[in-house]
Amino acid sequence: MTTAWRPAADGLMVAVRVTPRGGRDAIEGVEALSDGRKVLKLRVRAAPDEGAANEAVVALLAGALKLRRADVSVKSGATARLKQIALRGDAAALAEALARLCGQDH
């Protein structure tokens, strides 16, 4: 099964699609884009002004995965809906936690 995340040197890289001003902060699972790539779909209340939505994404993922905010960073796509997020920690444990959050068997 192809997922929205892949192992990295010090954790996981996660492809995400963010909906800012989404009414609530939530992880909505994995979806396939029109080109077949998988992304983790996130929704945040914050507007995409001055990095507020990116901060909300970092806070959402850190809270859901029980990581420090310093262990979650936006690596690319800071001004786009599609982003690459780096998660620092044990790759296998993080992948298992993401799969559980998305309702997937890992």
Domains defined for the chain, CATH in brackets = 5-101 (3.30.1200.10)
Q: Are 43 and 28 in contact (CB under 8 A)?
A: yes
**In contact, 43 and 26? CB cutoff 8 Å:** yes
Instruction: Please say if the pLDDT value at position 74 is more than 70.
Output: yes
What average pLDDT does the segment 82-97 reach?
Answer: 96
Cβ proximity of 94 and 7 under 8 Å: no
Is residue 103 scored above 90 in pLDDT? no
Q: What is the per-residue pLDDT across 17-51, written as a single tens digit (0 to 9) for each? A: 999 999 999 999 999 999 999 999 999 999 988 89
Per-residue pLDDT tens over the stretch 47-64 = 988 899 999 999 999 999
Does position 70 have pLDDT exceeding 80, yes or no?
yes
Identify which has the larger pLDDT, 99 or 106: 99
Q: Whole-prediction pTM value?
A: 0.92
